[in-house]
Structure 1
Amino acid sequence: MSKAEKTRQLIIEKTADVFNSKGYAATSLSDITKITGLTKGSIYGNFDDKEEVVIAAFKFNAKRLRDSMDAAISKEETAYEQLMAMLNFYKTTWKKAASQGGCPMLNAATEADDHLLFLRDAVKDNFIAWQKKVSTIIEKGKAEGSFKVHLQTETYAYTFIMLIEGGILLSRTLNQITHLNTALDRVKLIIDQEIVN
């Protein structure tokens, strides 16, 4: 890795948590220089503008979340166990995520929808990747014979994402994990009643 690549990576890693907790729009260039210890010239020597830093920091946050979830899922063998691992991942990591500013997917989606339109494609791509991950697990369950064959896989995957993200939103807003747990319990009920053979 070249010196420029190392500097670029340092900027991304140092700013990722701040962008997630303070907000992508609210985090200023002064915040970025303070966090990294670099000058404005160094920041703009590695990124064209703040928008490029925002996108890179979001992608870093989303990948970190995805890698952690994938690690939890990959420990399980069957499709059912993998879906349960995904639900358990959110149940067990909520407190830590809340202390670090919340779900990076939800945070970025809110800002991209309102005013940071340049961030929308990156956010959309990450939600689609999550949907594909869940869809792959459901398809695996069909192949195993443990899930019903005639399921609308993509619809169920997006339903799970909507419930989880909605639960996170209410739990963060009201500072009570109860709402996330309710959403996760609902996803489990859907899996048990509508998906499992």
Structure 2
Amino acid sequence: MPYTKTHKNSTRERILESSFRLFAMKGFEGVTIDGLMNNCGLTRGAFYAHFKSKAELYSEALKFRASSTKLANLKPEGISNKQWLSLLLNNYLSLEHVKGELSLSCPLAFLATDINMQDTAIKEAYADVYYGMNTAIMEYASSYCDCDEQDIFSVTAMMIGAVAIARTLQSQDSIENLLAACRREAGIKLGGI
């Protein structure tokens, strides 16, 4: 009896989630299809039922994780755009996010050091996610402050870079100082949040 569409989608999401975690920890080259599928409790054959290559999986895992972040979610009712951006900024530039403790870690920060070594299709997927992040923040920020595209680009680059750099630092004080400085600077650019 063939698997249902729901089962197939559930399996695909399980592979995407597991692969993102492995790619974030080990990089593209450090993850094998066999290792990934073993981590999911699935066979190598199941991989090819969903993906043509590891490179396709990498792109899809990046987009899947991005679609699961708080920024991709709709703003809750009863909260202003400014309050929502403040919450997003504080969560993004948090020690929990740096340590990967937030269940929805940003693929832009967690894959930043690995992306440059990938093929054009993967780089394009990364760029699309980055532009989507900028668009979402601009939509919220433009409703209450006079910021432009360059302001948003500088804020998102700082946020992503801060988390990527903080993940390499060993001193918790240094990490907390970096995150606090970036929260302050991003807050200024985003209209004093």
**TM-score normalized by the length of structure 1:** 0.78
Q: Give the corresponding residue for 2:99.
A: 98
Measured after TM superposition, the shift of residue 160 of structure 1 is 0.9
* Corresponding residue of 2:131: 128
**Any idea what SS the aligned residue of 1:173 has?**
coil
Distance in structure 2 (CA, Å) of the matches to 1:76 and 1:162: 29
Give, as a single letter, the amino acid of the residue that structure 2 aligns with 1:28. Answer: T
In the alignment, the residues of structure 2 paired with residue 47 and residue 70 of structure 1 have an alpha-carbon distance, to the nearest angstrom, of 24
- Are residues 118 and 140 of structure 1, via their aligned partners in 2, closer, same or farther at CA, if it must alter by over 3 Å? same
- Gaps of at least 5 residues in structure 1 are 142-146
Q: Return the alpha-carbon distance in structure 2 between the equivalents of residues 71 and 55 of structure 1.
A: 20
How much is the aligned-residue C-alpha RMSD, in angstroms? Answer: 2.7
Say which of 49, 56, 74 aligns to 2:53: 49
- Return closer, same or farther for 1:71/1:39 CA change in 2, 3 Å cut-off: closer
Map 1:28-107 onto structure 2 (within 5 A).
28-65=32-69, 68-70=70-72, 73-74=75-76, 77-92=79-94, 94-99=95-100, 103-107=106-110
What's the offset of the Cα at 1:97?
A: 4.5
Higher relative helix content? 1
For 1:90, the aligned partner's letter is: Y
- Matching residue of 1:27: 31
Distance 2:142 2:157 in 1: 19
Of residues 155, 160, 166, the one that matches 1:160 is 155
Letter in 1 for 2:92: Y
- 1:139-154 → structure 2 map (5 Å cutoff): 139-141=142-144, 147-148=145-146, 151=147, 153-154=148-149
Distance 1:12 1:115, change over 3 A: closer
Contact 1:170-1:180 at 8 Å conserved across structures = no
Structure 1 pair 8–60 and aligned structure 2 pair: CA distance change class (3 A): same
- Higher relative contact order (Cα pairs below 8 Å, separated by 6+ residues): 2
Amino acid at match of 1:26: G
Q: CA deviation at 1:19?
A: 2.0
CA distance in 2, matches of 1:76, 1:186: 26
Contact 1:29 1:50 (C-alpha < 8 Å) held by counterparts: yes
Equivalent residues, number: 183
TM-score of the aligned structures, taking structure 2 as reference length: 0.79
Q: Is the 8 A contact 1:135 1:157 kept in 2?
A: yes
> Do the aligned partners of 1:19 and 1:27 also contact (CA within 8 Å) in 2?
yes
Identical columns (%):
19
